[in-house]
Amino acid sequence: MSNKVIHAIYNDDDVLMDAVKKTRAAHHHIEEVYTPFPVHGLDKAMGLAPTRIAIASFLYGLTGLAIYTALINYIMINDWPQDIGGKPSFAFYQNMPAFVPIMFEGTVFFAAHLMVITFYMRSKLWPFKQAENPDVRTTDDHFLMEVGVHNNEEELVSFFKETGAVEVKVIEKH
């Protein structure tokens, strides 16, 4: 089994989009696409599944709301129901308006931070991570599509040359 891949490099996002559509139509499996900036509609053209991070964030928000509600209910109502400036600490609902700012901020805090951490984990990003950049120009002004080679090297090279690639390289991957 060879681990050869094709690196087709483009210098225009419109050309890239067309190439991605052609590659999908020709049933070549796209391993990865590297771009210097978000290309609108690229995920749809590649057929990537929609993200579920918003759903995760909603659940984190509910978690935060539950935690902060339980926390303040325990502290202010159950543990030491003091009379502080005449506020009614007899039951949670009686003093609830005073707790809403905390419950709101707790919800946002959990929803935001846990979502960001989820994003980092799912995209495998951390401070000392080795950059996975196949070509330095892809962070500046070039677009790169990576397609696996399965004993069809010549066919693939000519295919990608025709899609408007400025450069087509065959790379041995480790």
**Ramachandran angles phi, psi of 98, nearest 5°:** -70, -20
Give the footprint of another protein on residues 54-83 (CB under 8 A).
54, 58
Using an 8 Å Cβ cutoff, are 147 and 23 in contact?
A: yes
100, 108, 166, 170: which one contacts another protein (CB under 8 A)?
A: 100
Helix (H) or strand (E) holding 7: strand 4-10
1, 27, 47, 97: which one contacts another protein (CB under 8 A)?
A: 97
Q: Given the complex with another protein, which of 42 and 98 has the nearer CB atom?
A: 98
Q: Given the complex with another protein, which of 97 and 127 has the nearer CB atom?
A: 97
The reply on whether position 98 binds another protein by CB under 8 A is: yes
Where on the chain is the footprint of another protein (CB under 8 A)? 54, 58, 86, 97-98, 100
